[in-house]
Structure 1
Amino acid sequence: MTHLSNRQLRLERIPDPDGDLADWGPFAHTIDGYAAAGGFDACAALAHSGSASTLTELRATLFFVARADRHSGCSADVSPRVRDLLRRIRAKVAAGELA
């Protein structure tokens, strides 16, 4: 997938958190989370704080989880966190909260 703005998101483009998570990684990369959060350190801090509340913050956090998962060799089960983030992202899109 290419980069998508929040306004370009549609529910059908967001992986189903209760389904197969095969497409979560490519979806996570539809945003440059580092740029969206203000750099690597800011993105890491956001992801580790658990404070993401806006659609952009949630997407940046998902991006960071994807990058961390890849760099760790996919050695940890990130699926519970991914499913939670996807649910929250889908809820924001469904509600039209696109900030």
Structure 2
Amino acid sequence: MEKISNQKLHLNDIPNDDAPASELHEFALSFDGYAAYPDDSSDDRCADIANRRDHSSLSRVRACLFFEQRRSRQSDAEWDHEYVLQLLAAIRKFVHEGRYRLPGVKGKNGATAADLIREISDLCEANVATIRRICRFNANREVREEIGRRLRGAHNVLGMATGNRRYGCLYIEKNLDDAQPTVAEHAVPVSALASLYEAGVPFIELVFFPVARISRLADQKLSSFKLVSQGMTRR
């Protein structure tokens, strides 16, 4: 059975609850609990973790599932199916929370992420109105730059940016390896979003247009095929 590291484990790798037993057993063996928690460890042996049902981390939950599989095979007995489903649910939860989460909001006078997004939206609306009132020669460009700046600010709040604030992206490249450099890219170019705004789409709706987290290598390939525009994907 091919091993799947925690970093490469995706939700679609985890069997459904109604999957055949063979698929559940195969998935259990995708993590080597004996290698992760060897017998020469004083209190973190795989068997000890499984017997005390330690579910405090993704590795430990996977070790529990691995050990249940080995125990059932060695004793030639059926494993506790309900417990196995609990372990699968716990694994899904760890994977989901590890990949999709909003960054914490600190030092903002008690504001929530929703409060900050609303404030950014209000700023954009007010600034665009000011630009259109004052700017005589370059209004369109100034409006587009304002929209782009505020979109980046909103996406940073929502964790749809780069660096440590990238786990809010709901769209993720298949089999993305988190150990490799990644980037967050708009599925719709900012220039097109600005055109939608000018056509009457509220800024707050533009914030939630798809942003995908992809590998830097994939981003470079898109660029080589001329499928990006100003750092944002065309399609």
With the shorter chain as reference, the TM-score category is 0.7 to 0.9
Q: Deviations over 1:32-72 (max 9, x none)?
A: 10111233881111100012210000001100000001111
SS at 1:35 equivalent = helix
When the two structures are superposed, what TM-score results if normalisation uses the length of structure 1? 0.86
Distance 1:63 1:54 in 2: 14
Name whichever structure is richer in strand by fraction.
2
Q: CA offsets, 1:56-90, max 9 Å, x none?
A: 000011000000011111x2341011000000001
Larger Rg: 2
In structure 1, distance between residues paired with 2:67 and 2:53: 12
- Cα distance between partner residues in 1 of 2:90 and 2:49: 15
> Please, which of 38, 56, 59 is the counterpart of residue 62 of structure 2?
59
Task: Describe the SS at the equivalent of 2:87.
Answer: helix
| TM-score, scaled to structure 2 | 0.38
Paired residues in the alignment total 95
1:2 maps to a residue whose letter is: E
Contact 1:34-1:40 within 8 A present in 2 as well: no
Q: Percent identity?
A: 37
Find out whether 1:47 has 2:46 as its counterpart. no
Match in the other structure for 2:3: 3
1:21 Cα deviation after fit: 4.0
- Shift of the 47–40 alpha-carbon distance from structure 1 to 2, 3 Å rule, reads farther
Q: Which residue of 1 aligns with 2:86?
A: 84
Measured at CA, do residues 7 and 82 of structure 1 come closer, stay the same or move farther in structure 2, by a change above 3 Å?
same
Report the alpha carbon displacement of residue 31 of structure 1 after superposing the two structures with TM: 1.1
* Distance in 1 of aligned mates of 2:39 and 2:3: 17
The gaps in structure 2 that reach 5 residues or longer are 100-235
Higher mean Cα deviation, 76-85 or 25-34? 76-85
For residue 81 of structure 1, give the secondary structure of its aligned residue in structure 2: helix
Structure 1 portions without partners, runs of 5+: none
Amino acid at match of 2:10: R
Q: Which residue of 1 aligns with 2:31?
A: 31
| More RCO (CA 8 Å, sep 6+) | 1
1:20 CA drift (Å):
2.5
Q: CA RMSD in A?
A: 1.8
Q: Find the aligned partners of 1:21 and 1:89 in 2 and give their Cα distance.
A: 18
Q: Structure 1 or 2: larger helix share?
A: 1
